Structure formats: C-alpha cells, structure tokens
Amino acid sequence: MDMLTLDYIKTLLPTRPDESHKMTFGNVLNIAGSINYRGAAYLSSMAALRVGAGYVSLASSSCVCNSITAQTPNIVTIPLVTQTALMSSAITSTAKIISKLDQYEHTDPEAISVDAVKQLWVKLQQTSVVSVGSGLSLMGTDDQPRSPNEPQNDSDPQVQQDNLQLKGNFDFFCHLMKAIETSVTKLILDADGINFYAKMIQSPNDETLPSFKLPTQSVLTPHPKELSRLLAVDVTDIQQQREHYATLAATKFGAVVVLKGHKTVITDGQQTFINSTGNSALAKAGTGDVLTGMIAGFCAQGMAPLEAACLSVYLHGLAGDLVSKQQSCYSLLASELLDYIPKAIQLVLQKTA
C-alpha cells in the first residue's frame, strides 16, 4: 500500500505532442444525466475535457441534452429516445390511446428507451472510453438514491414514481451493458450505474436479468454505500477496513476500484494507493461527477485505468485544496472544481520543470 505523492503523480501526466489532432487525445462517450440531475452530465463531461480529452460526447435524454447545449458549446450531444418519444409516435389516434396506456403503465415516460442502445451501437465501437452512471437517476427521482432491495413505502406516490423510472432505466441499463460487453474495452461505472450493476450481481438466479462481464479495463468509483451494495457488506464494516474491501471488490470484479471518501483508496487488487490530497470542501454534491469525468478523460488519452484513477484522484483533491485556500472549505461548488483542474495540473507541471 502506497501513499500518492507529487513525485509519483508528476510521472503520470500524459504527453501532449505538438503534431496531433483531437482524436490523438481520445474520444469519451458519457452516458449521463436525467431530468433531475442535468448538472451531473455537465460536470462529468466538462471534467473530461478539462484534463485533456480531445472529444467528448454526451448521450442522454433530449431535456438533458438541450440544457447542456444551452450551457456550453464544448460538448457534443446525442439525444436518446425516451419512453415519451415512443408513446408520442405510437399513439396516433384516440382509439389507440387506451391500448397504449397499458403498455406503458409500468414505465416512466422520462426513462430512456431500450431502443436508445441501437442509437449508440456504432458510437460504442468508435469511442476510446465509455462512462456510465453520473446523474442517470437509475434509482429514482428522490434525493437519496436507494438500493432496489432496501425497504420502501410502496403506497407513497413519490416511491411509486421512482419505481417507474427504476424499471424503465434499468431495462436500458441491461441492454446497454450487453452492448458494451462486446464493443468497449474501457468503461467507467459510477453512481447509479454501480447501483444497478449491484442489483444484477446480487440476483444471480433471476432469469430476467442478463449476465455480462465488465470490459477488461474497467473502473468502478463507489462511495461506501455503493460498495456495500456491490459486496452485500455493511457500510460500517467497509469504513473500518476500507483498503481490505476495496481490494476485495477489485479482485472480485476484475476492475480498478476507487473507494471515495477521506483518504480515497485506489486499487486494482494487486497495487493499492491512498490519496494524500483533498479536504471536506469536496463533500458536496457533484464533486464525484467531476472525478468520474477526469478518470474518463485520462483513460481516453491512453492511460491504463489504475494510473488514470490515481492521477485523477490526486488532481481532484489538489483542486479542492486550491479552492479551499482561496475561499475556505465551506463554500466550494462542484462547478468551481472545473476551473481549478487546470491550476492543479499547472502546479504538477511546474514541479516537473
């Protein structure tokens, strides 16, 4: 187990040859965002660009894509077909309405349709790395995402609405993962992408759930609760033995695991690193989306997943430290991290001069 140091980090920064073009530095496909979490799509996509990715595409629902296009001209958007679009195209007369209501009764109209996977098929084969999960709201629309196995009040109207979106987006996720299995070598799985992967592996006897293997170069970025779902282990136990359970997950799933939190743990099951940067300013919604985008951006530039994760975690924490020096650890906004990533990189570059 090693502590991440500046001396090690400065050896990881990928080179930037003058004779190059945008695809020299990789192509990120970011499948992210939902009607309530549009900011996550923006933060993760912009973070990939900030660390040097040459091209970033965001695939999401039209409402998310339209919002992002209004915010920045830097991100290419791919509007995905949703249940709303399918319902609109299917219902062409009053006579058809009643028959179609039954078909969509158990699906949220805002959920991404499984047909969206067909839209992405060619893109999946052309991209350097795929990132899935930031703000997808696969677990519902409430502010506290939950596991499908956690107790819930099914008579609560909000829970009923959440369950509709869970089913719709889960269907999309299952089909997407099968497509990724055969077409993608690098995958970053974050947030509710992790939660639904956990649902799949914790239900091995459910014949309605497809089985799939993670790509050979995958990164999982769980916080402790998400890791508890992956391993079916209590969060308290994980927090007491963070290195142990992160290593266990990395070995079990054949992926690099970034266990977020104080002194973030990064491991591939063989090598384990502990981060030395960062502070409580980063304990705010959206900062994890920035980290996911950074990892995707460095992976797109040809870095191995473990090195990309180490570099991203260190720079992410360093950016948080730089913000805190300017305005204390209370006031950081996740969007401000985007402006401090270049400053963190510049600080590392100065140490290599």
- Known binding residues for (6S)-NADPHX are 40, 135, 223, 289
- Specify the DSSP class assigned to residue 276: -
Contact, 195 vs 235, CB < 8 A? no
Alpha-helical runs (H) found in the chain: 6-9, 38-50, 62-71, 83-90, 94-103, 116-126, 157-183, 192-201, 224-231, 235-240, 242-253, 287-300, 305-327, 334-352
Sheet with 272-274: strands ordered across: 2-3, 272-274, 265-267, 256-259, 217-221, 186-190, 129-132, 27-31, 55-61, 76-80
Query: What amino acid occupies position 60?
Result: S
Tokens standing for residue 250: 């990395």
Can you say how many angstroms the Cα of residue 113 is from the centroid of all Cα atoms in its chain? 19
Contact, 284 vs 332, CB < 8 A? yes
Pick out the residues of the known binding site: 40, 135, 223, 260-264, 288-289
Pick out the residues of the known binding site for AMP: 260-264, 288
Burial (CB count within 10 angstroms: exposed 0-12, middle 13-18, buried 19+), residue 69? middle
Tokens standing for residue 286: 């959206």
